[in-house]
Chains A and B, each alone.
Chain A
């Protein structure tokens, strides 16, 4: 069990966008030693790190519901 609050860009393995019944979504993030859910929130520091990861070329898996 990884302690959270140690989320670093270089630790990210995959990021997947997961949609919920009301159309909202969260990132499912799998890292080298953690799994977590990051909500769409610009003031969440993990969300900010994911945006940096994307800007650095990371690709989000996104399969929106039909």
Chain B
């Protein structure tokens, strides 16, 4: 009975505020960096995008990087993975418009309970573990993408090559509202380097209209200035309230499914990691030479109708595998795509009707923010 009472106490709040002990209190998905459907490492990275660990995006890059899921983690905290950035070609003199940061974008419908735009707007506390050889002051921001507003704080890495836990509290915002939809409403960004466009202002320690010059105004380091530089982060938690609670570890399957709302790789049904070869479970049956169809459901409802990429046995994009025969097509297009399934594929004079012509391939569906 005691444990039940504690569970209920954690789940129910009659104060009108959001209880800090509720499950799924972390607004950040995959904060323990454990899911990496796209692969565990990508080298020679010079452009932004989603590279390895699910839900974590590199936005803007200068220098050249290897981005990976690392097993270097803070000791005794329960983490098994971290997000690692390793500089392989330095750029010590970024141009004005250069930016180097990672971020996670959060759907508006997931932040309605922050009561933004009201006098009861909730404060948020961000906690994370960070390690780098590059000591100095860094800046992390919350960006309101619906109203182009921002709040930021700096944090200092004081000991080189040592895991440090950082906790930052941001005030609630009494201005504007978040769209109650599947769009990008709140973005949390960690600046690691920036040109003068992003450093010329002042750290926005209170919510304000976003100004580019404020986004990295407190940054005193350029992580891209030396190929010896590396930066790790894990245990990221963004939660309501003015104090950080212990990191909320989720079961692996729950974490994977939360990530699959934004990205799904049929290869990941095996073990949650990127695979090779077919790795696919989706199949289509030809009904004329131009089209094939089949009801191929995604494991979870995706954020929106996703972009589809198919690869054949050899890993070539655009081709689809004809079972027990070989790869066909060169630029197959997928249609009748909803947020729950993909039904049809099309390429002129590519498909053969009749038994046993079944087509399939490794499907990757992208509905990221």
Contact = CB atoms under 8 A, between A and B. Distances in A.
Interface in A1-39: 1-8, 16, 18-22, 24-26, 28, 30, 34-39
A34 to B, nearest CB: 6
Given A1-B315, A3-B42, A39 B333 contact: no
Nearest to B290: A21
A1 B38 contact: no
Contacts of A36: 307-309, 317, 366
Nearest to B276: A1
Interface in A32-49: 34-41, 43-47
B35 to A, nearest CB: 13
Contacts of B42: 3
A44 B336 contact: no
A26 to B, nearest CB: 5
A41 B303 CA distance: 11
Nearest to A10: B47
Nearest to A31: B317
Contacts of B299: none
Interface in B293-352: 293, 303-309, 311, 315-318, 331-337, 344, 346
A37 B308 CA distance: 5
Q: Which of B181, B311, B333, B346 has the most CB of A within 10 A?
A: B333
Interface residues of A, number: 32
B369 interface: yes
B51 A38 contact: no
Given A3-B51, A46-B366, A20 B346 contact: yes
B146 interface: no
Interface string B269-305: 0000000000000000001000101000000000111
Given A18-B335, A36-B366, 9 more contacts: A5-B50, A8-B49, A20-B335, A25-B335, A35-B331, A36-B308, A37-B307, A39-B334, A39-B337
Interface size class of B (residues with CB under 8 A): 35 or more
Interface of A: 1-8, 16, 18-22, 24-26, 28, 30, 34-41, 43-47
Given A5-B49, A20-B346, A37 B317 contact: no
Contacts of A4: 263, 307, 309, 364, 366
Given A7-B307, A44-B367, A24 B183 contact: no
A44 B307 contact: yes
Contact of A6 (B50, B303, B311, B346): B50
B335 A39 contact: yes
A25 B291 CA distance: 13
26 contacts: A1-B316, A1-B317, A2-B317, A3-B42, A4-B263, A5-B49, A5-B57, A5-B366, A5-B368, A6-B47, A6-B48, A8-B47, A18-B346, A20-B344, A26-B334, A26-B337, A28-B333, A34-B309, A35-B309, A36-B317, A37-B308, A37-B333, A37-B334, A39-B307, A41-B337, A43-B305
B39 interface: yes
Nearest to A27: B333
A35 B364 CA distance: 12
Contacts of A2: 309, 317
Contacts of A24: 335-336
A43 B51 contact: no
Contacts of A19: 335, 346
A37 B337 contact: yes
Contact of B335 (A37, A45, A46): A37
B344 A21 contact: yes
Contacts of A3: 38-39, 42, 49-51
